[in-house]
Structure 1
Amino acid sequence: MVKDRLWTGSFFAACGANFLMFFAFYMLLPILPMYLAEQFAVTKSTAGLILSSYTIMALLFRPFAGFMVDSFPRKPLLLICYTFFISYFGGYMLAGALAVFAVLRATHGMAFGMVTVSVNTVAIDIMPASRRGEGIGYFGVSTNLAMAIGPMVALMIHDATPDYDWIFATALGVGLLGLFVASLVKGTKTEAVGAKQTISLDRFLLLKGVPGAVTTIFLSFAYGVLSTYVAVYGKEEVGLAGGTGLFFVCLSGGLVVSRLISGQLINRGYLTQVSKAGISLLIAGFLCFVFIKHPLSFYGCGVAIGVGYGLLCPTLQTMFINLAHHNQRGTANATYLTSWDFGVGSGVLLGGIIAQHTSYSSAFLLGTLLLCVGLTLFFVWSGPYFDRNKLR
């Protein structure tokens, strides 16, 4: 039997646009805590509050983004959201006061929430239904590659020059290239349904996805702490003088390999089993990360945690998609990404506060405990609920 074609020109373009968007995004993630400390002398808790505002605004606007994506032509909306998103990198170079930077960072989260829902939904429209699990896995690889390269490039620039504007300018240039690549995606033919249905809560939030959303919040908290504070943790508590950019390479390597495997397993029907395996591996990886403070363990845990999230994330997103009707793909993506961002934002905010009063190890330990809660919820609630209510 001949497989439906997945790797079309539009799918390549969607993956490229997503890669470049997240490249720009991940360039800023590890250096912003240092930027705030060096340029504005803020405390750890204040930095956590400012940085978490990005994620909070993203999750507040994601439900609205889902409604927009399901109601209007998707490619023009993608280009508008993409332009809005990349313009903020230029704004950071002009922010001379902490208050200005804080406002820019918060509203940038709004743009991020819109563009990520848009690009994810366009990519899923392009994928053949018979290869959707595999396609989501491959599409996620573009994010993971950006996670590896973006922070590494940013930290290399930071080591070469104390001027953070070079990092912001590079991110802006990468974003502009991504906008061009996004313009190469052929418009999808999915029907916009906003004018034909009564506006209701289910147009903004996939109600059938609530059990999965609650579980996702607990599972993503640790990732919020990790993605924002790992560079500082490596220097202050592991004792690394440099090389924290290599951690993101290890993390992304694990993510890429496991995503390539998980997509095939999802298509064969092992969705919930892959999720449970991913969560279990994350718990083991974070426990080693917290209690074994050695460079080899630091990087090895990066690989293990990457494999864990690489198994988990495609399965979670596929669960939301498979609970929704075709005209609710935008809402399903928005619900998944909103719950993910809520957990990540909580990790960024509380991680900074906990580190201020205790240590970064304590913040990572809390994230590990919440992963255990998430695994329990998956076994007793969201997993069985999905099996009973899935549409495909």
Structure 2
Amino acid sequence: MTGTGKAQTLWTKDFVLIAAVNFLIFCSWQALPFVLPVYLQELGADDVVLGWVTAITTISALLVRPFCGIILDRFGRKGIFLAGIAFMGLASATFAFIPVIGIILAMRFVHGLAWGITSTSSSTVASDIIPPKRFGEGMGLFALSASLAFAIAPGVALESFNVGGIVPVVAISVGALAVAFVFACLLRYRPIEKKATLRLESMLNRASILPAAIMFFLAACYGSLVTFLAVHAAAQGVENVGLFFTAYAVAVALSRPFLGRFVDRKGYAIVLLPGALLVAAALVLLSQADSLPLFIFTALLYGLGFAACHSTLQTMAVADAAPEHRGAANATFLVGFDCGIGAGSLVAGALATVAGYAGMYLCFAVLPLVAAAAFLTFARKRKPPSLKETSG
């Protein structure tokens, strides 16, 4: 096998560029979900409506992802990717103008369509760039760009909102996308030698369905966290909750590079199962958190656990796909992620009205255990490409 040298180099200019683009896209995306619930609460929205802030975008992203995946595999990456970034910028700008609850929710639906196109394209371009023998490590580092955005953008957005309202938050979101568009133009896109056919069965990748289904349960927890963390902290009398995201970033930044290498060398289970247990423990702690130090400790556990689960399952979903099916593979995985976030945020809103925020997070702590059980039952024999090559 002649897979060494340049073909196996991970840190190329294109990899750095796509990671930077992904970071900026996620910064734009993550700035709004944490601010809009607070903004809508000021406009008179209740907890059920707040649950729709996240759910409605995941529904629209879910609708567009399968079509985006097959179009990427049929017509190439560049045009779809650049159009998605531009569309997302226009959708983000609208939140600065009309302070009406119904219109804001409608625009979140449009925002989700743009997000579905852009994030599916970004993951697919990264999949083209990462060498197979370092796929777990590469996907882990690529996912790190999104996790760092999750750590930085919400805190900056909340502080900007507290100082100047929704307008500076929107300016940050649109500005990040403008820079991302410039960087995306500089990328060298890999040509597709064998193009996918435009058939209904080509929209979803069969081998990616199982990791997407497992991701559903973990993403539901993420949906509850994203939607209600700020209001939960406020209800507990905890200020400076932006430090939660800083702690999350530290955990993710320290763990991502090592987690991907473990996947490549030892397989999926050694990373995924401890990660699921950490997510469950973090949600139990979050349900009881009543001080900033406890919120920060919870963020460290959650960041480490969720990073382990997400990067492992995304690697599992995409690693075995042929180049002409990587768009569909990424779309399939992200459909599972979207479904989980949407269902999680809606159920969280309903649970919060009955059991409060603490009781809601305690209920969600069961879901990572369900994800671990599903992996052990259906997927524990699957191997990353690196182990298949060495064993075969």
Question: TM-score by structure 1 length?
Answer: 0.93
d(CA) in 2 for partners of 1:199, 1:2: 38
Q: Contact (CA 8 Å) 1:14, 1:182: kept in 2 or not?
A: yes
RMSD after superposition? 2.0
What is the aligned partner in structure 1 of residue 139 from structure 2? 136
Pairing 1:43–2:46 present: yes
Q: Letter of the aligned partner of 1:226 in structure 2?
A: L
For 1:50 and 1:23, locate their aligned partners in 2 and report how far apart those are by CA, in whole Å: 17
CA distance in 1, matches of 2:280, 2:81: 36
State the partner residue of 2:23. Answer: 19
Structure 1 CA distance for aligned equivalents of residues 272 and 243 of structure 2 = 27
Count of aligned pairs: 384
Q: Is the 8 A contact 1:51 1:348 kept in 2?
A: yes
> What are the superposed Cα offsets for residues 117-142 of structure 1, whole Å, 9 maximum, x if unpaired?
10111111111222211111111111
Gaps of 5+ in 2: none
Displacement after TM superposition at 1:391 (Å): 7.4
Cα gap change, 1:104/1:192 in structure 2, threshold over 3 Å: closer, same or farther? farther
Q: Residues 24-65 of structure 1, C-alpha deviation per residue, up to 9 Å, x if partnerless? A: 111112111011111x31111112124310111111211111
In 2, the alpha carbon distance for the partners of 1:192 and 1:50 equals: 39
Find the counterpart in structure 1 of residue 314 from structure 2.
Answer: 317
Aligned partners of 1:50 and 1:106 also within 8 Å:
no
Checking the alignment, whether the CA contact within 8 Å between 2:67 and 2:203 is kept in structure 1 is: yes
Which of 169, 177, 186 is matched with 1:175 structurally? 177
Match of 1:204 in 2: 203
Distance 1:99 1:198, change over 3 A: closer
Q: Report the residue type matching 1:174 in the other structure.
A: A
**1:33-112 residue pairs with structure 2 within 5 A?**
33-38=37-42, 40-112=43-115
Asked if the contact 1:250–1:303 (Cα under 8 Å) also holds between the matched residues in 2, the reply is yes
What's the counterpart of residue 217 of structure 1? 216
- Residues 117/391 of structure 1: CA separation in 2 closer, same or farther (3 Å cut): farther
Structure 1 vs Structure 2: percent identity of aligned residues? 30
The residue type paired with residue 125 of structure 1 is: D
SS of the residue aligned with 1:41?
coil
Which residue identity does 2:22 align to in structure 1?
N
**1:19 is aligned with what amino acid?**
F
Q: Give 2:124's match in structure 1, choosing from 118, 121, 126.
A: 121
Aligned mates of 2:370, 2:78 — CA distance in 1:
39
Distance 1:33 1:330 in 2: 32
Structure 2 residue 257 is the aligned partner of structure 1 residue 253: no
Q: Is the 8 A contact 2:60 2:109 kept in 1?
A: yes
Tell me which residue corresponds to 2:191: 189
Matched position secondary structure for 1:359 = helix
Q: Is the 8 A contact 2:264 2:384 kept in 1?
A: no
Alignment map for 1:277-356 (pairs within 5 Å):
277-356=274-353
Deviations 1:329-361 (A, max 9, x none): 111111111101111111111112221232111
Aligned counterpart, 2:232: 233
- Cα gap change, 1:142/1:388 in structure 2, threshold over 3 Å: closer, same or farther? closer
Q: Distance in 2 between matches of 1:331 and 1:279?
A: 26
Contact 2:37 2:53 in 1 (8 A): no
Whole-angstrom CA distance in 1 between matches of 2:283 and 2:50 = 23
Offset of residue 388 of structure 1: 11
| Segment drifting more, 136-145 vs 348-357 | 348-357
| Alpha-carbon distance in structure 1 between the residues aligned to 2:171 and 2:26 | 15
Structure 1 unaligned blocks of 5 or more: none
Task: Quote the offset at 1:2 in angstroms.
Answer: 4.6
Q: Which residue of 2 aligns with 1:147?
A: 150
Cα distance between partner residues in 2 of 1:84 and 1:310: 29
